[in-house]
Amino acid sequence: MLYFDDTMLLMIPALLLGMYAQWKVSSAMQQGSQIRSNRGMTGLAVARALLDYHGLNHVRIEETGSGDHYDPMSKTVRLSPNVYQSTSLTALGVAAHEVGHAVQHSTSYAPLQLRSGFFPLARLGSMAYVPILLIGMLMASPMLINTAILLLSVTVLFQVITLPVEYNASARAMQMLRQHGYIGSSEERGVKNVLDAAALTYVAAAVSAIMSLLRIILISRRGRRR
């Protein structure tokens, strides 16, 4: 990012972790997708049953091509076709994870509320900090450089806050699937592997954001010494 110098070395661990996380999640989901659950329930059926159990009958479930997620604005769990229609361990884990977010929302889970509050600023920061930083460096403007650092700091904070939200949703997913008998003891490992691998991608994103912030701070300090 920006240009190559020795501060780029900070990004190497983040890059390697990101590559490992992507391989891990791809591998775990591929393996899990090949194992059909003993109950033979689809991701849709499991999600609906879990939502209804928690009194979230008003939360809709939709099939989507834009990735599995829970939309708190429309109170909708959106599942990809491979999750919505599948009876695999991957489908059950992902579906239950998204229901976990819906339960977090309904119970006003504090980290989720905090993340939601930071989201607009984090989105602005991720889009704006690079051009502001470049202009600040070209103009040798400490004010613009500090503004860019502040914007990236908000993005980093958002990534860090995301970690407990995602790990909690996965923990809820495992608990719900076990409690209601949707997976047996022999299936728990496969589902947990999928959820743990997916969570690792958020860890990698947080590490990458932190390293980017440290790099920019180092670059700005060097610029001020010249």
Q: Report the catalytic residues.
A: 98
Distance CA 151, CA 70 (A): 26
Distance CA 182, CA 195 (A): 16
Distance CA 145, CA 224 (A): 11
DSSP state of 79: E
C-alpha distances (whole Å) from 44 to each of 64, 93, 225 are: 12, 11, 59
Distance CA 71, CA 170 (A): 17
Distance CA 148, CA 24 (A): 33
Type of residue numbered 209: A
> Cβ neighbours of residue 110 under 8 Å, at least 6 residues apart?
none
> Cβ neighbours of residue 134 under 8 Å, at least 6 residues apart?
2
Distance CA 177, CA 46 (A): 9
